[in-house]
Chains A and B, each alone.
Chain A
Amino acid sequence: MEADKKSPAPWVRITSDDGFTFIVQRKVALASQILAASLNEDSNFSESHSNACNIPYRGAVVEKVVEYLSFKAQFQEPKPNEDIPDFQERIPPEIALELLMAADYLDT
């Protein structure tokens, strides 16, 4: 259990406004500055203790956000021969507005 306390949990929980829960790897959550700050061990936020964050938007929007965070975490350090796929085409226009707001909220 001490090992758990020392090393941060590898998985974190991200919840949405309408009750959806997404369990992601820590590094994925850290792709967002805000999430990283709230999950930071040094901060006293409750999120860091519980390893759970809430994003105050609909489940559909949060799902897309999490998808983006995975995408970003994967391609953050570019390997020389790798082609980075375009995330633009994965954004449906119906949620674009809320996605904009969520992205602004998460500063990502």
Chain B
Amino acid sequence: MPVRSLSELALRSILLHLDGLNSLGTIPYRLAKPILMQCQPEQLMEIERNSPHLKVDDQEIWEELCVKRFDIQRDKEGYPTPKSWRKYYHVALAREKQLEEEAGLRIRSKYQALEAQKQERRLVFTAANVPPMKRARTNGWGKNPAPKTLYEKARSETMRKAGLFAAAKPFPPGPSRTATSPPAGTNIIPTLRRPPAGTSQINLTKPMHIPRAPSEKSIFSPSSPTSPISIKLSETKQAGSPPRPIPHVPPANALFIPKHKSLSQLPSRVRS
């Protein structure tokens, strides 16, 4: 027969558009069977709902679905037949879902345990109390030098004071000094004591005898042994003692005094 039957053609057309199908109307089961065989379980449920007369006969379809889905093995006598394959399908599906969820839960908890284990071993960076690095302070330009330790502080302080002592007038002052003693009001340095002889260990230079103008006394100019700056004027009354050579220690700000006198900007030194 070269021409296909209309039944066949119509069936083909239905199967092509199976997705949109949700009811089979009043079709008898025998006609519907080939269509139902192709349906998914959910669709089958809907069709049954809309065309209830099909429910009566469609056990075999559900049976087929169950066997396929749940891989029921057929043994020699065949498998036990539940009263309703449709019910069996739904129960088995629910059971499967539950097993899946449990398995998922197990895996998740195992994974979390593993993660916790890993976390224990991980390094954790805290913000507190990071010890400073050794090289933090070496900056080429000398900014922010390493803070001075106590020892360094004591040392520098001592040296500074030694320098001041070295610059103090000697004890006792000579007679030439009294002639040039300034008026009492020009005492600038309230306390400047002579260091005991021999304690100063800094550069010993020849004591300088510099003619000093009375009004231009500066704290930091190297005072001559003849300058009576000390408050202890009683000492100046002693006469006859030769001016002890005071080791000349450059004062603390010696940096600012040019080594060569002619380059000094001090008014006393200008054009000297």
Q: What A residues does B17 contact at CB under 8 A?
A: 93, 96
Range of interface residues on B (Cβ < 8 Å): 20 to 34
Q: What A residues does B2 contact at CB under 8 A?
A: 75-76, 78, 84
B5 in contact with A88 (CB, 8 Å): no
Which stretch in B6-14, B101-109, B141-149, B211-219 binds the other chain?
B6-14
* Residue from the list A75, A76, A88, A106 in contact with B9, Cβ < 8 A: A88
Q: A101-B31, A104-B31 are in contact. Are A68 and B6 (CB under 8 A)?
A: yes
B28 to chain A, nearest CB (A): 8
A91 to B9, CA, bound (A): 8
B3 in contact with A93 (CB, 8 Å): no
A103 in contact with B3 (CB, 8 Å): no
B24 in contact with A97 (CB, 8 Å): yes
Interface of A (DSSP majority class): helix
Interface of B (DSSP majority class): helix
Q: What A residues does B153 contact at CB under 8 A?
A: none
A100 in contact with B11 (CB, 8 Å): yes
A99 to B25, CA, bound (A): 12
At the interface, yes or no: B155 with Cβ under 8 Å from chain A? no
B3 in contact with A108 (CB, 8 Å): no
A11 to B22, CA, bound (A): 40
A39 to B20, CA, bound (A): 38
A10 to B26, CA, bound (A): 35
A17 to B4, CA, bound (A): 26
CB within 8 Å of B: which of A54-78? Answer: 65, 68, 71-72, 75-76, 78
